[in-house]
Amino acid sequence: MLTKKQRDILMLIIHHVENTGIAPSFEELCHAAGLKSKSGIHRVMSALEERGYIARLHNRARAVDILRHPDGAAYTRLNLTDNISNLPDVADASSTPNTQLQRMETEYPVVDIPLLGKIAAGTPIAAISDASHSIQVPEHMLGRGEYFALTIEGDSMIEAGIMDGDTVLIEKGDTAQNGDIVVAFLDEDDEATLKRLRRKSHSIALEPANSRYETRIFGPDQVKIQGTLKALIRQY
């Protein structure tokens, strides 16, 4: 559960990212929230990160990934034309903080997504199984592709904000961009894992987001991409 100040700051960050494509600076957040000191923003940002609502790349300006909406739903970025007028305006100095911090109250339809079991974010575990359960996901979180869900087991992607027990939503597909987080099926092990994809010359690197784990290198014919990470759901 977020405090009112934490919720307000998170909504300001979401709005700024939707409008500009980048996270606001601490100075911009101070101005929009009507605060005089950046130390208060620092405390709120740390609290949001600890609670899994944002992820920060430290020592880099504006490096903030939004992970969840204030209501706990996994964050999916809106198109810049989608309902922007309903969000608080970080850059509008003429409006009051109370006006800026109004919340969207929109109900979204849900869709059933097959839950295919567990996947490793650590040492690879058993390959993806057939669907035996499904979960309901707000339709606005998904694009037009075909999706499936998996439960994360392991901690090798924690620095990307993906925790043990999270449910990830994967868009099916056998191709991915360099740097995407993918479901990779390893032919030689008959196993699947969730890692960041890097293509290097004639090889494929599957990178963890945890310094305790090593990057694994494979030949191009040893890895089959089964989908790309699009969102995650976390329960408390």
- The full DSSP string for the chain is ---HHHHHHHHHHHHHHHHHSSPPPHHHHHHHHT-S-HHHHHHHHHHHHHTTSEEE-TTSTT-EEE-B-TTSPBP-PPPTTSSGGGS--TT-TTS-HHHHT--------EEEEEEEEEEESSS-EEPP----EEEEEEGGG--SS-EEEEEEESSTTGGGT--TT-EEEEEE-S---TT-EEEEEETTTTEEEEEEEEEETTEEEEE-SSTTS--EEE-TTSEEEEEEEEEEE---
Give residue 14's identity as a one-letter amino acid code. Answer: I
Structure tokens at 193: 């894992």
CA atoms within 13 A on the CB side of 140: 14
CA atoms within 13 A on the CB side of 214: 3
Structure tokens at 222: 């040893």
Strand pairing category for 110-120 and 147-153? parallel
**Active site positions, annotated:** 156, 195
Length of the chain: 236
